Structure 1
Amino acid sequence: MQRLSHIATLTPQASDLIAPGEDPAPEYDRLLLHSVCDEFGLRRFSPQEIDFIHNFVNVMHPLAAALNILQGEKNTFLGYLVPTIVHLKNDLRGLLDESSKPTATEGLAACRLLIQTMIQAICKRLDGRLEEKESILAAVLLPMFKLDWVSDDIQRLQYRVMLKQEVQLFCPP
């Protein structure tokens, strides 16, 4: 515990080394990681390893955000499931596209298999749930989402028709 409190005293010194106008996060993270490694007598991370860690965090961020929403204690309804998962899949597909570009960093390219695996796992586990009428209608009826999470116009129209049919079942004209 003393080592960790000592590391905490080192971090303000690290922020003093960052030039004004620069993004402080990468340099601060690098210095913090070096401080931790030095304190515990471990080998310092190479710039490539630090780049990989940053990209790994960027890849896992959408999943962590989705889990925070779905595991929340407030405002957690069935209607949150479909839009959250659709948004997560879109974010991961964007990262997958970015990782396949020639300009992608080495760390992001190394995370490509992780991104693919996460997309496959989400599809395998949740695609059936995302197509259930009950889940779709729950999302459509939440004022926070409505149909904003649906990008395809044809699918949006299908969901509107689905909602109208369901309303007509309970409230005949």
Structure 2
Amino acid sequence: MIAYLSGKVIAVEDETLVVSVNDIGYEVYVPNRVLSGVKIDDALELWTIMVVNEKEIRLFGFTQKDERRMFETLNAVSGIGPKSALGILNQASVADVVGAIRNDNVDIFTAVSGIGRKNASRIIIELKNKFSKNDKVDVKSIMQTHDDAADIFEALAKFGYKKSEVNKALKDVDPSLSTEKKIKDLLKLM
């Protein structure tokens, strides 16, 4: 898994950047504000997550760790894929997304192409307990999730588990455990 890139921008496309790190070019999907804020030859650091599915492998990058964590959290919601998760972060900041979840505001989510009221409601329902109004914790500490969530989802999908099932069970697993131990514990719980 590629978690971080630091390099030089060598190409800017419609949805992606190509970042050269030690003479290897990584194509990275990034939020629009990152795309519009960089130009060729700019130095750039990105917190990344690799999303693997049956058709392709994509790398998504963010300038802030909390954005990457929110992307992972949104991508874990049943029916929300990586493009929709990135679309949400194109529309709103992490704090705005948390506020929308806490206040049952579907509008931020339905503003994203491909997300209707049903999926917007699903986001709120599945993440409501993660972002409770009574929490006195700031957004960054709320977003302290399992950094290896994508690997866990991928492994358990092979056993037929849905992202929503895994996400619920992950709340009962110690985040400090190794990925392998988390998967073993999750299999016992599910």
**TM-score normalised to the size of structure 2?**
0.21
For the pair shown, the structure with the greater C-alpha radius of gyration is 1
More strand by share: 2
**TM-score normalised to the size of structure 1?**
0.22
More helix by share: 1
Higher relative contact order (CA 8 A, sep 6+): 1
